[in-house]
Amino acid sequence: MKLSERYNRVNLIATIVIMLITGAIYYLAISVILTNQIDKSLEVEEHEAFDYVKLNHRLPQVFESKDQQITFTPAEPNSVKREFINTGYYREKGASEAGRGLISSVTVNGRYYKLQIVESKVETEYLIQIIFGITIGVILLLLLVLLITNRLILSRLWQPFYSILGELKQFKVTDNSDIAPLNSPIDEFNDLHQEVTAMAERVKRDYKDLKTFTENASHELLTPIAVINSKLDTLIQTENFSPQQSKLLGDLYGAVSRLSRLNQSLLLLVKIENKLLTDQQTINLKELIEELLYQLEDIFSDKQITVSANFEDKEITASRYLIDILLNNLIINAVRHNHQGGGIIVNLTAEALVVKNTGESMPLDNERIFTRFHKSSSSEGSGLGLTISKQICESLGYQLGYSYEAAHHCFVVRF
Contacting positions for other proteins (CB under 8 A):
219, 222-223, 225-234, 236-237, 239, 241, 243, 245-247, 249-250, 253-254, 256-258, 260-261, 264, 267, 271, 276-277, 279, 295-296, 298-299, 302, 319, 321, 325, 328-329, 332, 335-336, 380-382
- Closest CB to other proteins among 194 and 246? 246
Nearest-approach distance from CB 227 to other proteins, in angstroms: 4
- Closest CB to other proteins among 118 and 325? 325
Nearest-approach distance from CB 382 to other proteins, in angstroms: 8
- Bridge partner list, 86: 100
Q: What is the four-CA torsion angle of 392, 395, 398, 402, rounded to 10 degrees?
A: 40
Q: Check if the beta carbon of residue 376 is closer than 8 Å to that of residue 389.
A: no
Residue 136 to residue 22: CA distance in whole angstroms: 11
- Closest CB to other proteins among 78 and 237? 237
Helices 122-157, 159-170: inter-axial angle, 10-degree rounding: 40
Angle value at C-alpha 331, between 387 and 264, nearest 5 degrees: 45
Residue 415 to residue 411: CA distance in whole angstroms: 13
- Closest CB to other proteins among 108 and 332? 332
- Closest CB to other proteins among 149 and 230? 230
Residue 89 to residue 64: CA distance in whole angstroms: 12
Residue 175 to residue 166: CA distance in whole angstroms: 15
Run of H or E including 189 = helix 187-235
Nearest-approach distance from CB 371 to other proteins, in angstroms: 20
- Closest CB to other proteins among 124 and 329? 329
Nearest-approach distance from CB 154 to other proteins, in angstroms: 53
Nearest-approach distance from CB 195 to other proteins, in angstroms: 37
- Bridge partner list, 108: 111
Residue type, 250: G
Sorted by sequence, the CB contacts under 8 Å of residue 45 that are 6+ apart come out as 68, 70, 102, 117
- Closest CB to other proteins among 92 and 239? 239
C-alpha separations of 66 from 63, 120, 248, 412 in Å: 10, 9, 126, 96
- Closest CB to other proteins among 280 and 310? 280
- Closest CB to other proteins among 186 and 316? 316
Nearest-approach distance from CB 307 to other proteins, in angstroms: 16
Nearest-approach distance from CB 161 to other proteins, in angstroms: 44
DSSP state of 377: T
Nearest-approach distance from CB 265 to other proteins, in angstroms: 10
Cβ atoms within 10 Å, residue 156: 9
Nearest-approach distance from CB 412 to other proteins, in angstroms: 21
